[in-house]
Amino acid sequence: MPRMSCGSLVSIFISLIILMHGCASQRPQQPVANCPDIASTGQLNVLTLNLLYDAPASTRAKAWTNIAQFAITHNVHVLLLQEAVLSDVDHIQDILGTSDSARDLQRVLNERSVDPYELRVAWETGIPLVLTTANAILSRCDITRHFETFLPIESEEAFEGIDLKITRNVQVAQLSLPGYGTLRVYNTHLCAACSVDSLQRQVEAVLNVVERVEGRSAANHVALGGDFNLDLSKGAAERIVFETIARAGFRDVYAAYRKDTFGDAREALCWNGTADIHCTVGVSPVLGLIDQKSGAGFSGPRRIDYLFLRGTDTIRTSRVIFNPGNAATGSINADDPAVSDHSGVFAEIMLRR
């Protein structure tokens, strides 16, 4: 979701960003992960979550603990993260409580996990070395290849009608699954407060990357996840964008599980601003520093974060997590901790050989 500080930084320093992109995300490599349990269970557990980039230090530290607790309890193999934050400025680090939020989450995970999580980061937007956001992948399975590519740059309304150009990307990682070949995961964060045509162009760009990569060397398993800023309840135009993804052979994991198991139609999932267990934004009490300072209220409940799956693998279960509700919605899942202004989408996938 757009926030003024991020957009303003991009608007002012766009030429510097293009020249220097990636500088702030260069970090040492980590120990190799192996996820040996997959060989015996055939089950892959995936979580996608948009982090809150401008969270205050105390909120962020608590969020790391809650995310890590969920990941360990539910044996999460792969985390797809959006809006991780990077900064080399001491004052910003003091306010946000981090210089590299994805790496800090990795540290907390590895303090609790028997098997280490590897980390790969893909710079997205901001001012290198000052303040940037990034997509990131944390994996208990060995990451054998990794790269990212930028998507078409589209105008996004960041503040009071001001349109800004904000860079977005798709991050690609190839993972080795013991006994089950390769998994290729595509992690993305599409434009917010942009036109449907802009969203369509970015979706098509992501799918073009998928087709080029899979066309050269097809993985045994393919997943696509992230913050798509795609709200099916907004009308036919957004549903056309969704159908573009479906025509590329991808299933909406959460919607498919709800329909197959509970009979819930896709159109009943967080529909028309009605807060429920299916929503992924507008159902958390957490607000960023910019919203706290400006006095902005909670966003309307929507389902805009997705996990898609292509191929013959089956969905054992899927649910939206970290959505306790807030002062505007009332209680939804009262036992869920709030870790971001977004909820996460979790899935257990049974792999086919």
CATH of the domain at 117: 3.60.10.10
Give the Cα separation of 81 and 226 in Å (integer).
7
Average pLDDT over residues 206-235: 97
The answer on pLDDT for 1 being more than 70 is no
CA atoms within 13 A on the CB side of 234: 17
Per-residue pLDDT tens over the stretch 282-317: 999 999 998 888 888 889 999 999 999 999 999 999
Tokens coding 327: 């002062």
Mean pLDDT of 119-147: 96
The Cα 318–Cα 155 span in angstroms is: 33
Tokens representing residue 208 in the block = 């073009």
Calculate the dihedral angle through the C-alpha atoms of 201, 221, 252, 158, rounding to the nearest 10 degrees. -40
Q: Which residue has the higher pLDDT, 246 or 15?
A: 246
Number of domains in the chain: 1
What's the whole-number mean pLDDT along residues 202-221?
98
What pLDDT band is residue 121 in, cutting at 50, 70 and 90? very high
Report the amino acid identity of residue 155.
S
pLDDT at site 296: 84
Calculate the dihedral angle through the C-alpha atoms of 9, 204, 226, 14, rounding to the nearest 10 degrees.
-10
45: how many CB neighbours lie within 10 A of its CB? 22
Q: At what angle do helices 57-73 and 101-112 cross, to 10 degrees?
A: 40
H and E: helices and strands count for the chain: 9, 16
Query: Taking CA 54 as the corner, what is the angle to CA 51 and CA 55, rounded to the nearest 5 degrees?
Result: 75
> Cα–Cα distance between 221 and 127 in angstroms, integer?
35
Share of the chain above pLDDT 70, in %: 90
Q: In this model, does residue 2 exceed pLDDT 80?
A: no
73/57 Cα distance (integer angstroms) = 25
pLDDT of residue 15: 33
Q: What is the pLDDT of residue 163?
A: 76
Residue pair 171/209 in contact by the 8 Å Cβ criterion: no
Please write the tens of the pLDDT for every residue from 70-90: 999 999 999 999 999 999 999
> Among 165-174, 201-210, 260-269, which stretch is predicted with the lowest mean pLDDT?
260-269
Q: Is the pLDDT score of 19 beyond 70?
A: no
The answer to whether residue 173 scores a pLDDT higher than 70 is yes
- In the chain, which ranges are continuous DSSP H helix? 4-20, 37-41, 57-73, 90-96, 101-112, 196-216, 236-247, 253-262, 289-294
Write out the E strands in 56-180: 78-86, 118-127, 131-139, 142-150, 154-159, 162-166, 169-177
Higher model confidence: residue 321 or residue 266?
321
Give the pLDDT band of residue 20 (cuts 50, 70, 90).
Answer: very low
Residue 266: its pLDDT value, please? Answer: 74
Question: Pick from 139, 222, 180, 176: which is nearest to 39 by CA?
Answer: 180
Dist. CA 269–CA 325, nearest whole Å: 16
Distance CA 149, CA 206 (A): 9
Share the mean pLDDT of the chain.
Answer: 90
Question: Domain of 191?
Answer: 4-350
- Residue 8: pLDDT over 80: no
Q: Check whether 24 has a pLDDT greater than 60.
A: no
pLDDT for 90-114, tens place per residue? Answer: 999 999 999 999 999 999 999 999 9
Q: What whole-number distance in Å separates Cα of residue 282 and Cα of residue 303? A: 9
